[in-house]
Amino acid sequence: MNILVLGGGAFGTAIANELSVNTENNVVLFSRSQKKVDEINTYHSNKSCFPNKRLTKSLSATSDKNEIKKSDVVFIALPSNVIIENLLVLKSYFNKEALFVNLSKGLFSEGVTVVECIQEKLGITNIVTLKGPSFAVEVMEHADTLLTLGYSTNLQYEVINKIIKNTSLHIDCTSDIRGVEVLSVLKNIYALVLGVVDAKYNSPNTRFMILTKAFSETRILLKSLGGADDTLFLSCGFGDLCMTSLNDLSRNRTLGLLIGKGFFSSEYKSNSVILEGLNAVNLVHSLPLNHILDNLPLLNKLHSFFDSKSSIFSLEFNKLIDIKFKTILTYGTFDLLHYGHLDILRRASLLGDKLIVGISTDDFNELKGKTSVLSYQKRKELLESLDYVDKVIPEDSWGQKANDIKDNNVDVFVMGSDWEGKFDELEKFCKVVYFPRTKGISTTKLKSILDE
């Protein structure tokens, strides 16, 4: 199989070198630098990335764009800030049947992932992502490495599985491509924090206290940004977060160590490593995270530090860690359960630890002049089957909400924006939040479609 790796940097070189171990692969490394191409082809080395390493003799390099046309699989190992402009230049040379594999890590404005941007800007649909705990120097040493493949078709999985055969690369898998992409950015943020903690405290107890909190915040952000919960437990999640946070080969952890020792200054912000960490923190913090920012004290602390131009990063553990267990309450009929319902329940669940849902009983619906397609019991069973929902209670009357809040120790009351202002009196018991409704969908609309 003809494989092209775009990008002659450390990780691109390491992956190309490892893939060339499989004799069934014809691997070519593409670089715009003719000097680097000549070095790889003549001396089997890339000294700018690996001064003391030899590449496999079966790996070749090229700067000839016409060689791209022969590729069955294209690995993208370019810096995320130049990836789109480079791919647009090469677009006319890509084989229309080629499978693209994104190795690059980053998020664009409004939380758009690299894969999503490639799909939109280049019209490429046959694309997967491959991420996980993997230092380039370790891959060059042929260390066994587990990566997460985010894919959408069985054929894509089969192709990747075939080309990593007889190499030190292994894969776990998910169809949650967005989640894999998002996690590759989030782990860098929390690696910064762990570096600070290790530099300031040098305590295993403190380190793993903060790591636990970092894992919790990563989960909240992953779900809020559209990723699946289970993806966090794959190589791209738990594995990459731990490796990046706890190993001194990590650039972001090293930056955290410098900050923790007081060596960071605003004058260093032109440094590419610092810019990478700074940009990741600022971008994620600027996303529309609705009401969940209160549950992200580590992210908030890091953002405030970079924003203040201070050289001292201080941590107040009571404020960071000792956070009260939060119970969330919402109400609805939830007839003909649809993605609008799921979206508001998902967002409500992110505000705390336990989500209680009150659903209108059949008798209460009759009092309101409403008729449900599904009975109360069926609607209750549907809601109880959702991971987002912890408890379902009956709603028998308009006036029971205050008592439900007190009886269940509720911290946040959530309703859709079409009820905005109508439950403000409950603020004397708990926080009241109104979520915007999901556009384009409603139970009434579904019923009218079914009637037709």
Residue 379 · residue 359 · CB < 8 Å: yes
Concerning whether 370 is annotated as a catalytic residue, the answer is yes
Residue with tokens 């080629």: 98
Which candidate in 368, 406, 422, 445 is catalytic? 368
Alpha carbon distance 189, 399 (integer Å): 45
Q: Is the dihedral of CA 359, 363, 364, 369 positive or negative?
A: positive
Residues 343, 388 contacting (CB under 8 angstroms) = no
Gap between the Cα atoms of 418 and 98, Å rounded: 47
Q: Nearest-CA neighbor of 259 among 213, 318, 305?
A: 305
Question: 309 is written with which tokens?
Answer: 């131009």
CB atoms within 10 A of CB 345: 22
Quote the CA–CA distance of 115 and 12 in Å, as a whole number: 17
Scan for tokens 């590729």, then name that residue: 71
- Map tokens 């940009």 to a residue: 279
Active site residue: 47, 91, 309, 370, which one?
Answer: 370
Length of the chain measured in residues:
452
Q: Is 354 known to be catalytic?
A: no
Q: How far apart are CA 412 and CA 383, in angstroms?
A: 19
Contact 232, 226 (CB under 8 A): no
Q: Which residues are catalytically annotated?
A: 368, 370
